[in-house]
Each structure stands twice: as C-alpha cells, then as structure tokens.
Amino acid sequence: MDKVYYDFTTKMENESVNDDYIQGWQSGFLLNPPREEQNTSEAYEAGYEDGKARNMDNFSNWAGK
C-alpha cells in the first residue's frame, strides 16, 4: 500500500473528517471511477477531486461534518 495514501487516510480518520469525503479522496487518489451520480454527495465529490489532484490541503473543511 502507498504510504502517502495510508498515512493521509489515517490522519483524516483521526481528525473525524466526513466519511464521504474520505471515500471520495481515496477513490480519486487511486484513480478509480467515481460513484454513480445518485450515490454521490458534495463531500464525496470534493474528496474525489482533491484525491485525483493529490491535494491534501482541503480536508479540514470536512472535519467534524
């Protein structure tokens, strides 16, 4: 497993980041296809775009939500 992926996922979980954001970030980071439209949320879409861009700056916007 990629250390960056593992370490950042652990950091987000420890900071109580929204689960949809985490799942979106993970999917984007791994370049998986996104969920179908009816199964997405604002948090998932934001996480997916951040993960795809390897962006680790916006996760705090989703902490505790």
Q: What is the pTM of this model?
A: 0.93
Query: What is the rounded CA–CA span in Å between residue 24 and residue 22?
Result: 5
CB 59 within 8 A of CB 50: yes
pLDDT at 37: 92
Tokens of 41: 């949320």
pLDDT at 34: 94
pLDDT at 64: 87
CB 25 within 8 A of CB 55: no
Query: What is the rounded CA–CA span in Å between residue 9 and residue 3?
Result: 10
- Residues making up the chain, counted from first to last: 65
Residues of the chain with pLDDT under 50: none
